[in-house]
Amino acid sequence: MSEPILEVTDLRRLFDVSKPWLERVVAREPRQLLTAVDEVSFTINKGETFALVGESGSGKSTVAKMVVGLLGPSGGRVRFAGVPEGQRPRPGMVQMIFQDPYASLNPRWRVADIIAEPMIVTGTRKDAASRAARVAELLTLVGLSPKDGDKYPHQFSGGQRQRIAIARALSSEPEFIVCDEPTSALDVSVQAQILNLMRELQERLGLTYLFISHNLAVVRHMAHRIGVMYLGRLVEVQESDALFLAPKHPYTRLLIDAVPNLAEIGRDRVPVQGEVPSPINPPSGCTFHPRCPIAMPVCSRERPAFRDGAACHALAPQTVAAE
């Protein structure tokens, strides 16, 4: 777990959310751009799980899409180890597991064909017999029976479908898998099965995961390192244990505190007020300052630099002293 497999530098993505051209010209309105992701940098080491957490609209899925190449970045770079500047990694080296196993499997295809498809597309196995053998192997690997290959997706439950989606992701022999909310659509007992399976596969196959989730407990269970996102920016990146024991950024603290916990029965709390602001018109300075319990005057003026794993003015002694 030493050398980096992925390096993301200053990633940025804008979306055009302007009204249609004619309406805009008639009303004399300018173009309107939404910054979904800005100044996001992180590295992921081989064999580890790096998680991105955040509430809706924090840009975590947009980062995931840029990493796999489904979206082009508006700025910054995504570089995989050993891949020359400006090129994509070999086909099939990066794969993705999606949230909804009901939407991500083609209902008209047999499971065996679904799983074999990446091998055909990436050309890893050219003859049908070796593909069939590999499909059977993969089905067993994810805890299904090789006979299940003849069935259609509707014959499986949500958890089994997610197993099929994992088998498909593994069929092109990837090194890096982006998992976008892989268990959010599943019930807890089934979620436990899938999380356990994903960790087993990581150990056996030496996979690296970029794990996207809004569920902190799931992230805690899966990730070695965690990045917390708020309104398109990384506010904190830390080792998983350190993040939960000693969160640095006030937003991380808020997030951890907001999760209802089985250990605290009947807890009364004072929740932080306010909601995530609209990314179309984000607050000035540190975007978290309107909700921050320890905000200082400087927070609404200047954007804090990312230093020692977190982006917060309160963590810079000089700034605190000057206030």
Partner 1 sequence: MTEKPVLEVKGLTLDFATRRGTLRALDGVSFTIGRGEVLGVVGESGAGKSLTGTAIIGLVERPGRITGGEIRLNGQRIDNLPPKEMRAIRGRKIGMIFQDPLTSLNPVFRIGDQLTETLQAHLPLSKAEARQRAIELLIEVGIPAPEKRIDGYPHEFSGGMRQRVVIALALAAGPDLIVADEPTTALDVSVQAQIITLLKRLCRTRGTSVMLITHDMGVIAETADRVAVMYAGRIAEIGPVADVIRHPRHPYARGLMGAIPALDTRVKRLTQISGSMPRLDSIPKGCAFQPRCTMAIPRCSLERPELVQAGASRAACWLANAETEVPA
Q: Is 259 in the site for partner 1 (CB under 8 A)?
A: yes
Stretch that binds partner 1, among 2-10, 59-67, 231-239, 249-257 (CB under 8 A): 249-257
Q: Is 262 in the site for partner 1 (CB under 8 A)?
A: yes
User: Nearer to partner 1 by C-beta: 161 or 168?
Assistant: 161
Structure tokens at 112: 């065996």
Query: CA-CA distance, 144 to 163, in Å (whole number)?
Result: 8
Q: Is 254 in the site for partner 1 (CB under 8 A)?
A: yes
User: Nearer to partner 1 by C-beta: 127 or 203?
Assistant: 203
Q: Is 293 in the site for partner 1 (CB under 8 A)?
A: no
H helix runs in the chain, sequence order: 21-27, 60-68, 111-122, 128-141, 158-170, 188-205, 216-222, 240-245, 250-258, 297-301, 317-322
Query: CA-CA distance, 235 to 243, in Å (whole number)?
Result: 12
Among 150, 264, 302, 323, interactor with partner 1 by CB under 8 A: 264
Among 1, 22, 27, 263, interactor with partner 1 by CB under 8 A: 263
Q: Is 269 in the site for partner 1 (CB under 8 A)?
A: yes
Among 20, 30, 86, 271, interactor with partner 1 by CB under 8 A: 271
Asked whether 315 and 288 are in contact (CB, 8 A), the reply is no
Question: CB of residue 273 vs partner 1: minimum separation in angstroms?
Answer: 7
| Strands 33-45 vs 225-230: parallel, antiparallel or unpaired | unpaired
User: Nearer to partner 1 by C-beta: 270 or 321?
Assistant: 270
Q: Is 187 in the site for partner 1 (CB under 8 A)?
A: yes
Task: Please write down the HEC assignment for all residues of 207-252.
Answer: CEEEEEECCHHHHHHHCCEEEEEECCEEEEEEEHHHHHHCCCCHHH
User: Nearer to partner 1 by C-beta: 86 or 266?
Assistant: 266
